[in-house]
């Protein structure tokens, strides 16, 4: 793995896998936790990561087309991402992995788990899209690509003022990554909008303990949607995190970790 460097608690590396130069952040020691990030990309300053790295070896890749990961011209779906991460699990010879995915990372994790759970121990989906619940002519999830930035932030966070991005203090590279992340999100999630029509019929194949988590103030994923999603996964446990929007792992990092710990112990 060349190109190693430090970033916060993380060591950043690049690995060539499945035709992708995949950026990987790694920290901590212990059982392996694979974290698949949301549509805004992965930031080493993610508040839940130091808490998780106390007890886990945390591996957090940047999806193809996000961060500094390359995007092959044939890759255009979340399903493609799932195959990349299946190969990553095999290449690194990982086993008994706790797989956590947030938002589109949760969708990716669900797709992966329907294909194989051989290297996984448990699955956690946080504010995950990926299925169609309502009628064909009505969006289950508000159109994030048509929203004004202020509305999007209000739907994303319970306390948006605290997490408003300060673009004026970002470097040119950071601004370029923000733009590229959004462009890639549109590529993989626009058509069909934030779902795979086949996924809901495959969720019954997930055969490991699974938890679905939603922030109580999530303005993108409704309670009804998340409950319907959870009900399609055998034995899935459903939990809500108070005082959090679509990103409870960011807004309520301690609460998320406590919820996971209680679930794991039980």
Q: How far apart are CA 89 and CA 207, in angstroms?
A: 18
Q: How many CA atoms lie within 13 A of 164 on its CB side?
A: 8
Q: Phi then psi for 158, rounded to 5 degrees?
A: -70, -35
* Sheet bearing 5-7, strands edge to edge: 5-7, 10-17, 20-27, 57-61, 32-36, 97-102, 120-126, 210-215, 237-241
Alpha carbon 31 to its chain centroid, in Å, reads 19
pLDDT band at 164; cut points 50, 70, 90: confident
pLDDT (tens digit per residue) in 61-117? 999 999 999 999 999 999 999 999 999 999 999 999 999 999 999 999 999 999 999
Find the farthest-apart pair of alpha carbons in the chain and give their distance in angstroms, rounded: 48
pLDDT band at 3 (very low <50, low <70, confident <90, very high): very low
DSSP 146-202: SS-HHHHHHHH-SSGGGG---GGGS-HHHHHHHHHHHHHHHHHHTTTTTB-TTGGGT
Q: Provide the terminal-to-terminal Cα distance of the chain, rounded to the nearest Å.
A: 37
* pLDDT for residue 161: 87
CATH class of 5-265: alpha beta
Residue 114 C-beta-side C-alpha neighbours within 13 Å = 19
Neighbours of 231 (CB within 10 A): 12
pLDDT at 4 over 80: no
């Amino acid at each position: 793995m060349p190109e190693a460097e430090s970033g916060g608690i993380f060591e950043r590396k690049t690995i060539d896998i499945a035709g992708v130069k995949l950026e990987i952040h790694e920290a901590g020691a212990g059982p392996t936790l694979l974290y698949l990030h949301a549509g805004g990309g992965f930031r080493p300053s993610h508040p839940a990561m130091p808490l998780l790295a106390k007890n886990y070896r945390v591996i957090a890749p940047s999806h193809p087309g996000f961060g500094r990961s390359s995007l092959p011209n044939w890759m255009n779906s979340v399903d493609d991402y799932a195959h990349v991460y299946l190969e990553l699990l095999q290449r690194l010879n990982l086993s008994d992995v706790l797989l956590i995915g947030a938002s589109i990372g949760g969708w990716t994790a669900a797709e992966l788990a329907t294909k194989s759970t051989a290297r996984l121990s448990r699955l956690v989906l946080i504010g995950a899209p990926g299925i169609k619940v309502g009628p064909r002519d009505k969006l289950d999830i508000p159109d994030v690509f048509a929203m004004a930035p202020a509305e999007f932030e209000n739907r994303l966070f319970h306390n948006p003022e605290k997490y408003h991005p300060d673009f004026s203090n970002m470097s040119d590279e950071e601004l370029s990554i923000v733009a590229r992340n959004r462009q890639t999100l549109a590529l993989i999630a626009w058509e069909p909008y934030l779902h795979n029509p086949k996924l809901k019929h495959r969720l019954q194949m997930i055969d490991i303990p699974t938890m679905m988590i939603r922030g109580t103030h999530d303005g993108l994923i409704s309670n009804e949607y998340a409950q319907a999603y959870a009900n399609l996964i055998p034995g899935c446990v459903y939990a809500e995190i108070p005082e959090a929007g679509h990103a409870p792992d960011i807004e309520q990092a301690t609460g998320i970790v406590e919820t996971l710990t209680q679930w794991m112990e039980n």
